[in-house]
Structure 1
Amino acid sequence: MEKLYEKTVRKEKLFSGRIIDLYIEEVELPNGKTSRREVIKHPGAVAVLPLLPDGKIVLVRQYRKALERALVEIPAGKLEHGEEPLASAHRELEEETGYRAQSMRHLISFYTSPGFADELIHLYVAEGLEKAEDGAGLDEDEFVELLEVTLEEALEMLQQRDIYDAKTAYALQYLQLRRALGEQNAE
């Protein structure tokens, strides 16, 4: 796809934060003209679809300042420097929910907003959950409410826009499809 390539000719860092860095990049377009791109660099993240032995899903409700409201989501968090996604998934699950998983399976990785950010989320399915002896280990600036819901209840939260983020919607659709195919195979 060489004919679509945009060559960076100048790059300026405008902001460096705890979670993101913001750049303005001047690019040469395929037609030879130039344009500017605003680019957010992110270390990447993990998200975990935790499934309890009874089939319920473990979700967290937390306040999202960018939206000025609380959302219900699957547990998730950013990768620490040098951390492998699988280790991060185990860590985030335990920190946010107090559960440990006997089985953690990678489902898919996807870019959240490729038009302006390079954030890559690695989505895992966690099964064989057991409560950790020491419980959740939230960061000091993190406050969550733990929910254990059926798939049907989660889908209703999606309709009511309590669940309103792509990673959680994607995970629920995966689970809905998995259960539908499992029911078909059982006949």
Structure 2
Amino acid sequence: MSKQDHLYEKTIASQSIYEGRIIKLKVDDVLLPNGNTAKREIVNHPGAVAVLALTDDNKLVAVRQFRKPLEQTIVEIPAGKLEAGEEPLTCAMRELEEETGYVASHYEPLSAFYTSPGFADELLHVFVATGLTKGESKPDEDEFVDTLELTLEEARELHKNGEIRDAKTVVALFAWENKLLREQLKG
């Protein structure tokens, strides 16, 4: 018996509610550790990647995009969902080029985290991309974005004024700032 067994919720029934192009929604009946039952609404997601792309002159490559659930335009780092069987690095390379036109010569894993573990199983892989070369963007037919190059100060200001609000981009900004601080301490 592991230390966490006393927290486990056993699924006793599961009902599929919706299956879309990106997500699936189900409702599970679970047996709680105390013997009671509860319902859990769960979003299944194939996973995604995000790219903290930094130019040679230390600018962040970002995109401005309208997000329907928010009914507003926000600034984000390039990102996209994993296709079936696709490796995260392959997806990161594809998404960076599709959304921004940039191709990177070096990718380094930064982090992987669950975006909303209270109701979704989406695992987001974040990569740092450097050695960038500018090319032509090739967005999906239903994707409309503006590509931006931002200094850290400009990105901070966009975060402060609410244009950068999504978790992946906020995490990336903190990681970028941390990277710069570590470099200053070394140098």
Runs of 4+ in 1 over 2 A off after TM superposition: none
Q: CA deviation at 1:57?
A: 0.7
Aligned to 1:13: 16
Q: Deviations over 1:55-76 (max 9, x none)?
A: 1110000000000000000000
Q: Distance in 1 between matches of 2:173 and 2:59?
A: 12
Q: How does the TM-score come out when normalised to structure 1?
A: 0.97
Measure, in 1, the Cα distance between the counterparts of 2:176 and 2:44: 30
Pick the aligned partner of 1:4 from 7, 16, 27: 7
Q: How do 1:134-149 residues align onto structure 2 when only pairs under 5 Å count?
A: 135-149=136-150
Instruction: Give SS of 1:124's match.
Output: strand
Is it true that 1:74 corresponds to 2:74 in the alignment?
no
Stretches of structure 1 that go unaligned for 5 or more consecutive residues are none
Residue equivalent to 1:44: 47
Q: What TM-score comes out, normalization by structure 2 length? A: 0.97
Letter in 2 for 1:127: T
Which residue number corresponds to residue 24 of structure 1? Answer: 27
**Secondary structure, counterpart of 1:102 in structure 2:** strand
Partner of 2:153: 152
CA distance in 2, matches of 1:156, 1:22: 36
Counterpart secondary structure, 2:33: coil
1:129 counterpart = 2:167: no
Q: In 1, Cα distance between the equivalents of 2:143 and 2:56?
A: 27
1:129-155 C-alpha deviation (Å, 9 max, x unpaired): 0023xx111000000011111011101
Q: Find the aligned partners of 1:29 and 1:147 in 2 and give their Cα distance.
A: 48
Aligned length: 184
Any idea what SS the aligned residue of 1:38 has?
A: strand
**Residue 179 (structure 1) aligns with:** 180
Distance 1:183 1:61 in 2: 30
Matching residue's letter, 1:16: E
Taking only aligned residues, the RMSD between alpha carbons, in angstroms, comes to 0.5
Gaps of 5+ in 2: none
Q: Percent identity?
A: 55
User: 1:167 maps to which residue?
Assistant: 168
Separation of aligned partners in 2, 1:41 and 1:89: 21
